[in-house]
Amino acid sequence: MAELDDIIHQPLRLKIMAALNALPAATGLEFSRLKKLTGATDGNLGAHIETLAKAGYVSVEKAFVGKKPQTTVIATAAGRGAFARHVATLQEIIAGKQV
């Protein structure tokens, strides 16, 4: 019986993973774009990205575009796999295969 992934299940982290997973592999989203999409605050988003990065589900790339720092968050292969399993588990719950 598959288990829900506790790291992904938190609502904001679920949104972050869903947004990143909607992109092609190795493509990421800028922090500001992710903030707008999820409706999170800077601090909250940063903390949850850190949790996902510690679990190996996302990688964070920091670069300078001109003089502006730019942070890009990318879902790793492990993160994509975990997200796919989490979604499959949610679907199983809805189908009544799990209680």
Partner 1 sequence: MIDSKEASAALADIDDIVQRVKQSQLYELASFAAVWWGLLVFAANLVTWLWPVYAVYAWVAADTLGAGGLVALRIFNPPHHSHGAAFNVRLLLVFVLFFAFGYLCTNVIGHFGPRQLGTFWPLYFMLFYTLAGLWFGYAFMAIGVGISALTLIGYFYIGEAFPLWMAFVNGGGLILGGLWMRRI
Q: Does 19 bind partner 1 (CB under 8 A)?
A: yes
- Tell me how crowded residue 11 is: count the other CB atoms within 10 A of its CB: 10
Work out which of 6, 22, 41, 61 binds partner 1, going by CB under 8 A: 22
Q: Report if residue 4 touches partner 1, rule: CB under 8 A.
A: yes
Candidate list 6, 11, 44, 81; residue touching partner 1; CB under 8 A = 11
Total residues contacting partner 1 by CB under 8 A comes to: 24
Phi–psi pair at 80, nearest 5 degrees: -65, -40
Using the Cα atoms of residue 75, residue 78, residue 81 and residue 83 in order, give the sign of their dihedral.
Answer: negative
Which one, 9 or 46, has the nearer CB to partner 1?
Answer: 9
Instruction: Tell me how far CA of residue 49 lies from CA of 1, 46, 91, in angstroms.
Output: 28, 5, 25
- If one asks whether residue 69 binds partner 1 (CB under 8 A), the answer comes out as no
